[in-house]
Copies of this chain bind each other. A is one copy, B any other.
Amino acid sequence: MDATLAALADPTRRRVIDLLRDGPRPAGELAQAVQMSAPALSRHLRVLRAGGLVRAEAGGDDARLRLYSLRQEPFTALQAWLDQVQAFWAERLGSFKDHLETTQEGDRQ
């Protein structure tokens, strides 16, 4: 959970995740897509790997390539936590709190 959100906190890493939604891609192609040096992106990929958000497999035809792809587990875990938070508004009492919140004026910043 901690490593997951730490990984997602960076815009570049979220961009990578969005790119991988179209399928696995080699590291170099990702670096080019996000307009960043290969070493810089390599470290981002390391963070994503540490959080379990992506995995790397060897490119079958060319063993130099590292094909990155998405992993489902952390996303599911994060959704579960968000569902718990959302439970705050789910019940009658929560809905009332929400009503108070969204109707009240004079919010100080």
Contacts and interface: CB of A to CB of B under 8 A. Distances in A.
Interface string A67-88: 0011110011011001011111
A92 interface: no
Interface residues of A, number: 39
Given A5-B5, A5-B14, A107 B21 contact: no
Contacts of A89: 72
A43 interface: no
A62 interface: no
User: At the interface, is chain A mostly helix, strand, loop or mixed?
Assistant: helix
Contacts of A82: 75, 78-79, 82
Nearest to A49: B109
B5 A104 contact: no
A1 B9 CA distance: 9
B107 A86 contact: no
A72 B98 contact: yes
Contacts of A17: 85
Contacts of A70: 85, 88
Residue from the set A8, A11, A108 with the largest chain B CB neighbour count within 10 Å = A8
